[in-house]
Structure formats: C-alpha cells, structure tokens
C-alpha cells in the first residue's frame, strides 16, 4: 500500500501560475500508472495563464467557484468534473471570495514539455 499526505508534497507555482502540489507522477514515484495527480488552487481574483497541454486533463473542483475557459466555454462550481481535451486552449479563474481548489489528473502523466503558455 502506498500513502502520501498532501502536506508532504512541496508547493510550487506551476507554469500556468497556479499554486500546485504534485501528488503522484509515475516518473517520480516509480509506479506503474499512466497518469499524474496534483492538487492546485487559485487565490480569489486570480487566474491561470492561458495555456494548452499536448495531453488530456481532468479537473475536479473541491472548493470555491469561478469560471473555466476551454476554448470558448465557461463553467466551474464546487463538485464539478471538467474534461479538458488535449491541445485545448484553457485557463481557470477564481471569481469567489475563497481559494478555488481542485484536483488535476493528466493522462498520460504531466511532463514540462507537454505544456505551452499562449
């Protein structure tokens, strides 16, 4: 059994300007999985940079509210699961008064060269 606590994952500013803690990445964890898992947040009034990934991504909104922009689409609420197709232009913004927290699943696993800031 493998257990990792969020507080044991270093926080950093990701390429898209979100606050991120990478929980699982098969490259680092030496696991036989194809995806990566991260926890992220955006402070009130902030947003990520417009970017695209060469891989697919899923966000699960844990807390807060805001707007998700995928190409021209907008939507985000606590409890939503958002599928982001590969190569889709995207950013997320926090329109609430508390941090917008979400989980990110990237498949295949996120690698720095998979992300392009627009």
Cis peptide before 13 (omega within 30 of 0): no
User: pLDDT tens-digit profile of 6-18?
Assistant: 999 999 999 999 9
Structure confidence at residue 80 (pLDDT): 95
- Tell me the pTM: 0.91
List CB contacts of 73: < 8 A, sequence separation 6 or more. Answer: none
> What's the chain's average pLDDT?
93
> How many helices and strands in the chain, by DSSP H and E?
1, 11
Quick check: 60 and 102 in contact, CB under 8 A?
A: yes
List CB contacts of 34: < 8 A, sequence separation 6 or more. Answer: 26, 107, 108, 109
Quick check: 60 and 81 in contact, CB under 8 A?
A: yes
**Domains in the chain with CATH codes:** 13-117 (2.60.120.10)
Q: Above 90 in pLDDT, residue 111? A: no
Taking the C-alpha atoms of residue 116 and residue 118, their distance in angstroms, rounded to an integer, is 6
């Amino acid at each position: 059994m493998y257990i990792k606590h969020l507080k044991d994952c270093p926080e950093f500013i990701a390429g898209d300007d979100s606050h991120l803690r990478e929980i699982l990445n098969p490259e680092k964890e030496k696991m036989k999985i194809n995806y990566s898992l991260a926890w992220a947040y955006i402070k009130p009034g902030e947003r990520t940079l417009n970017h695209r990934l060469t891989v697919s991504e899923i966000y699960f909104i844990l807390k807060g509210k805001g707007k998700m922009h995928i190409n021209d689409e907008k939507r985000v609420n606590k409890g939503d699961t958002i599928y982001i197709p590969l190569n889709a232009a995207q950013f997320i913004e926090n329109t609430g008064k508390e941090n917008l927290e979400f989980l990110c699943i990237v498949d295949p696993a996120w690698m720095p060269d998979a992300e392009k800031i627009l």
